[in-house]
Structure 1
């Protein structure tokens, strides 16, 4: 099934629907449920701006909002048979799909950003640094955030747990569901990657 393209939408209030409009939508949905692709296209045209505005207000990113809006209507099309009529509010139904997709995106986005945010806000640890910790401590706070964000997920989690939360190799391995050897390897690669990133920006001392 080809991807749906979301046209640029103006961010403006949603106008209430009249009774005649609801009747028209119900008729279009009935035709779409019977296999009329053109009818679904007309329903899409009627609601795409409303769904886009709903999503955009929550993600504040036009590209993300367009992607989630496209996915909303793809799911609506795949599950069209589950929409109940008469009396069903198609606008509310498709908005519920958009809401669920948006919540899933927000939760996933927060999980990706949390390790970096914790590193940004963490207070320095008052202890004698290990040679590995010296690599991390050499970063400025802003450089730390930028460099950590460029690591792959395993390396980023490893650095967060080892040097922010001060977990041991064994504790980090248990938290990530990996072997201690895998954590040692990830830590080594992460620190080497950080050194390379910082050398490129002249932040890391020789």
Structure 2
């Protein structure tokens, strides 16, 4: 089974071999969970959204047409995140503000913890689209080509957007350290 590609396994799932879905789950559930958790920083919601991705994979297995599987599943994850974000927009803004204020009350024990905390705060201040790009490329290690496929943009456009998003993150990060 380890020699089969994700695409081969998903085609078998699409043909009705639902037992193979466990292989897909084993290969992708941590990556999908980490994507959600970096986007919203809520473990319980991230678990729920991850579960929803695999429910959709099962439900829409017949729509898979042998393309890049990672792009296909992250497109599903991105759409689920977008739906979740739209439903929880007001509540989410309130949670982010509470989290930033609450984070200021904590005293980091180590310098590395402090740097990570500043970076996480800076990430949360970015627009969702910028944060999503940085998380997909830098933290999930998804290639520009796959991100382009997931988002429906050209590779060149993704590179430009990534450059701009990193520039914004750098600016926010250093402003938060100075204050």
TM-score range, shorter chain: 0.3 to 0.5
Query: Which has the larger share of helix?
Result: 2
